[in-house]
Chains A and B, each alone.
Chain A
Amino acid sequence: MRSLAGLGRPSLLVALVFSLLAVAAFIAASRTGRRDLSEAGKRALYATFGFTALATISLITALLAHDFSLGYVANYTSRSLSVPYTISSLWGGMEGSLLFWTSLLTGFSALAIAKAPARNSRLVGAAGAVLMGIAAFFLFMVAFPGNPFAQVAGDVPVDGNGLNPLLQSPGMVIHPPLLYTGFVGFSIPFAFAIGALFTKRLDDSWFTATRQWTLFAWTALSIGIVLGGAWAYTELGWGGYWAWDPVENASFMPWLTATAFLHSVVIQEKRRMLKVWNVTLIVLTYGLAVFGTFLTRSGLLSSIHTFSEGPIGKYFLPFLALLLVGGLGMVAYRLDSLRSENRLDSLISRESAFIANNVLFLAAAFTVLWGTIYPIVAEISSGIRLSVGPPFFNTIFTPIGLAIIGLTGIGPLISWRRMSKGSFWRMVKVPLVAGGVTVVALGLGGLSSPGALLSFSLCAFTAAAIIGEFIRGSRVYRRRDNVGLLTALNRTIARNRRRYGGYIVHLGVLLIVIGFAGNAFKVERRADMSPGDTLDVAAYTLTYEGMRTAGTSEKDIFEATIAVNRGDDDLGSMRPQRNLHLAQGQWQSEVAIRTNPIEDLYVVVTGFDTDQSAVIRTFVNPLTWWIWMGAAVMLAGMLVVMSGRIPVAVAAATKAPAKREPAVAQ
């Protein structure tokens, strides 16, 4: 393939000019309401996207053509790298990932603005101006300080440094694009929210116009986070999936505030309340998404994920400050127009449950933010170097997480507006019994961890509450249409996809929590073994049989063979590897995992010697399988949610005066 790198930077400069033109046209359109200006803005936006896409394609051709005259290509690829990993090196380094960010942003902006309802031309104009303002910043970043088309200093190398071996994994081909899709996807609701504040169109139109974008971004971010965990689990060799690393935290913070937003926006839809709160949440979510990108790419916090450090921090910080101060300043400026049109009818109501949910999610987001930045704050303020790691986050997060799980069960049981205490107890009785029976059964069965007992019982409580909702819903169809359980269930879900899709997402979350709770029973062993040696780990006996060597053009492979027995059962062999990646001269472990719903047997070679002896690290991780299953269920639930529309009755109800709203329970 021929490198088109020469087109790259000129395309970025042209895209930058078009983005600025689009900002000007959209601002004029939102102020005057003139359609021709709005059309001009749209055309400039499409041109911005076109030229950004051209620059991205140029870089991809340079990567595939091994054009080592570009510093970026020389730093992140090599001739022996396979085509999928060569393409994935587009987001393997700082400059390429910023370009990828920018092309996603301009592409999403073009789609969102093209599909936005024409009747909201002022709102769309203002949103377009915000989107193109953000795009102009990122285009400046990739055209100047973070230019991926910069030439290599000195002679052009014959071969490149290659991609970090840790990134050479199928999970890493998908994980970063999904995270970036999530981060960038929140640009759309953010821009429409700011547009609504500017144009004073503070009804529901900004979030109904961007609802699918919000759901899409949240889903992409959720799956991206889980895939990141799966990558850590299968590639890093420490037997876990979440280390509270600053970069993991960077993706988790916007997820927490976005989850709060997805819940609280329902109150605005149903009751026209929490308008200030919802705009604030989307501003915070986008601010945290940009902060996450800044954290990852500025080198402010060093972490195993921060593969490159560049001179971009000094630009990111003012930009982030502008987003947050500008966004929150606009919220303050429009405070009067954002007042709720309704009031709460009762403390025992679904609205109250949603508000409690939001407090918990925000407290969780603040904890992660605070824990992530506190080492810097402490060093700047008092010169003391200290660390904030997993024990801190686990201590604070566990009670918050358990409270959220409990609320997830209570929420669906409470009616909107009001509910008598008697009705509440009637609804909560069966889930309480489910939770109690779980504690008693597991406690009598020998489970001795209070945290795990509490987690499992809360999961049982919430699962019973959610399953009860499905049963109550499908009972109507079974009686009315005289159909079987599955058909009735199907009709129940099809009738209100957002609600029941949401419940499916909650069931997925419960499965993930079950997987987390299993971590309390993890067993870890490590031994220096010679061929023939055995190692007992929980109920397993591992026999090290020896080391086989092989080689490819990319790496020297050293593969251990380990026979696994469980009591008298022969479970076959596992073959973990310890490989030397030639281009980087870097050792990398390839983990062997034997997985099932009960537990994972996880084996990794951490070192070996010429006499065939090897250091084998082994983990038995109970219930980890449920984490990945839970993520799949969450994804299925989100697909159901996204396939739904707002029920006409709900839309009408939100338009009716509050006092005339029917006092229905749901």
Chain B
Amino acid sequence: MKRLILMSLVIVALASPASAQSPEDLANDISQKVMSPFCPGVTLHDCPSQSALDMRDRIEGFARSGMSEAAIMERLETEYGEAIRAEPSSEGAGIVAWLLPALVALAGGALAVTLVRRWSARRAKPIAGEPSRVATSAAERQRLDAELGRLRGES
């Protein structure tokens, strides 16, 4: 069991998608990372207009001339402005877009963990006037678990 889990983790960690890209694949890839100036709210890849297809051909041309992805993105940003990038940059105003969801998720998780801990801790304290719990031995707890497991399996 442990060996299987370890092996799975190693396979996932070592796996990496193929890196060599043809100019067409690179153009397809970039077209999914830039917004279309011709279809508001949609990436260049998803925009059906002829102008979008022409722009995609231009990008493929850049790729054929040996430009890297970063260089092509920079060129497009110079031409169309920062809004051409389909994802906000990780600096300046763009960083807030990335940080806030992560902070909200972390805060939500931390709040949930705190509440769950507090709720379960309160429950664990003996309540005044309530009869104290009957102490159970390890063997009894084991038997209870087994019984519950069996019950659970049959329910």
Report whether A387 and B85 are in contact in the complex, using a CB–CB cutoff of 8 Å: yes
Which of B13, B43, B83, B148 contacts A243, CB < 8 Å? B43
Q: Does A584 lie at the interface of the complex (its beta carbon under 8 Å from any beta carbon of B)?
A: no
- Spot the interface stretch: A63-71, A432-440, A542-550: A432-440
A333-358 interface code vs B (CB 8 A; 1 in, 0 out): 00000001001111100001001101
Given A303-B41, A359-B109, A432-B5, A423:B149 Cβ within 8 A: yes
Report whether B101 and A615 are in contact in the complex, using a CB–CB cutoff of 8 Å: no
Report whether B105 and A363 are in contact in the complex, using a CB–CB cutoff of 8 Å: yes
Given A345-B123, A606-B53, A389:B108 Cβ within 8 A: no
Which of A240, A391, A427, A454 contacts B12, CB < 8 Å? A454
- Chain B nearest CB, measured from A259 CB (Å): 16
Report whether A473 and B155 are in contact in the complex, using a CB–CB cutoff of 8 Å: yes
- Chain B nearest CB, measured from A237 CB (Å): 5
User: CB-CB < 8 A to B94: which residues of A?
Assistant: 386
- Chain A nearest CB, measured from B131 CB (Å): 10
Which of B1, B17, B28 contacts A448, CB < 8 Å? B17
Report whether A440 and B7 are in contact in the complex, using a CB–CB cutoff of 8 Å: yes
User: CB-CB < 8 A to A606: which residues of B?
Assistant: 48, 50, 53
A413-431 interface code vs B (CB 8 A; 1 in, 0 out): 0010000101100110100
Q: Does A453 lie at the interface of the complex (its beta carbon under 8 Å from any beta carbon of B)?
A: yes
**Total A-B contacts with CB atoms under 8 angstroms apart:** 212
Given A243-B43, A387-B85, A391-B87, A450:B12 Cβ within 8 A: yes
In chain A between 320 and 379, which residues have their CB closer than 8 angstroms to a CB of chain B? 340, 343-347, 352, 355-356, 358-360, 362-363, 366-367, 370-371, 374-375, 378
Q: Does A408 lie at the interface of the complex (its beta carbon under 8 Å from any beta carbon of B)?
A: no
User: CB-CB < 8 A to B8: which residues of A?
Assistant: 435-436, 439-440, 443, 457
Of all chain A residues, the one with the shortest Cβ separation from B7 is A440
User: CB-CB < 8 A to B32: which residues of A?
Assistant: 390-391
User: CB-CB < 8 A to A432: which residues of B?
Assistant: 1, 4-5
- Chain A nearest CB, measured from B76 CB (Å): 12
Report whether A664 and B15 are in contact in the complex, using a CB–CB cutoff of 8 Å: no
User: CB-CB < 8 A to A449: which residues of B?
Assistant: 15, 17
For the complex, give the distance between the alpha carbons of A384 and B148 in Å.
Answer: 60
User: CB-CB < 8 A to B50: which residues of A?
Assistant: 606-607
In chain A between 592 and 647, which residues have their CB closer than 8 angstroms to a CB of chain B? 606-607, 615
Which of A433, A524, A607 contacts B4, CB < 8 Å? A433
Report whether A359 and B53 are in contact in the complex, using a CB–CB cutoff of 8 Å: no
In chain B between 43 and 88, which residues have their CB closer than 8 angstroms to a CB of chain A? 43, 45-48, 50, 53, 81-88
Report whether A374 and B40 are in contact in the complex, using a CB–CB cutoff of 8 Å: no
User: CB-CB < 8 A to B152: which residues of A?
Assistant: 415, 423, 427, 472, 665-666
Report whether B12 and A422 are in contact in the complex, using a CB–CB cutoff of 8 Å: no
A374-403 interface code vs B (CB 8 A; 1 in, 0 out): 110010011011111111100110001000
- Chain A nearest CB, measured from B25 CB (Å): 8
Q: Does A520 lie at the interface of the complex (its beta carbon under 8 Å from any beta carbon of B)?
A: yes
Of all chain B residues, the one with the shortest Cβ separation from A450 is B15
Chain B contact residues: over half helix, strand or loop, or mixed? helix
Report whether A344 and B15 are in contact in the complex, using a CB–CB cutoff of 8 Å: no
Interface size class of B (residues with CB under 8 A): 35 or more
Given A359-B105, A363-B108, A374:B4 Cβ within 8 A: no
Report whether B155 and A384 are in contact in the complex, using a CB–CB cutoff of 8 Å: no
Of all chain B residues, the one with the shortest Cβ separation from A340 is B119
Which of A302, A400, A450, A472 contacts B153, CB < 8 Å? A472
For the complex, give the distance between the alpha carbons of A616 and B116 in Å.
Answer: 57
Output the residue of A301, A392, A444 with the most chain B CB within 10 A: A392
Give the number of chain A interface residues (Cβ < 8 Å): 86
Output the residue of A360, A385, A400, A665 with the most chain B CB within 10 A: A665
Report whether A448 and B155 are in contact in the complex, using a CB–CB cutoff of 8 Å: no
Given A366-B104, A436-B4, A448-B18, A347:B53 Cβ within 8 A: no
Given A352-B116, A450-B16, A664-B155, A391:B33 Cβ within 8 A: yes
Given A385-B83, A390-B86, A423-B149, A355:B154 Cβ within 8 A: no
For the complex, give the distance between the alpha carbons of A190 and B142 in Å.
Answer: 46
Given A343-B119, A472-B154, A439:B82 Cβ within 8 A: no
Report whether A240 and B46 are in contact in the complex, using a CB–CB cutoff of 8 Å: yes
Report whether B4 and A420 are in contact in the complex, using a CB–CB cutoff of 8 Å: no
List 14 A-B residue pairs with CB atoms under 8 Å apart, sorted by A's residue number: A240-B46, A243-B46, A303-B40, A378-B93, A385-B83, A388-B87, A436-B5, A443-B12, A447-B15, A450-B17, A457-B8, A607-B50, A607-B53, A666-B155
Interface residues of A (CB under 8 A from B): 236-238, 240, 243, 245-246, 301-304, 340, 343-347, 352, 355-356, 358-360, 362-363, 366-367, 370-371, 374-375, 378, 381-382, 384-392, 395-396, 400, 415, 420, 422-423, 426-427, 429, 432-433, 435-437, 439-440, 443-444, 447-450, 453-454, 457, 472-473, 475-476, 520, 524-526, 589, 606-607, 615, 659, 663-666
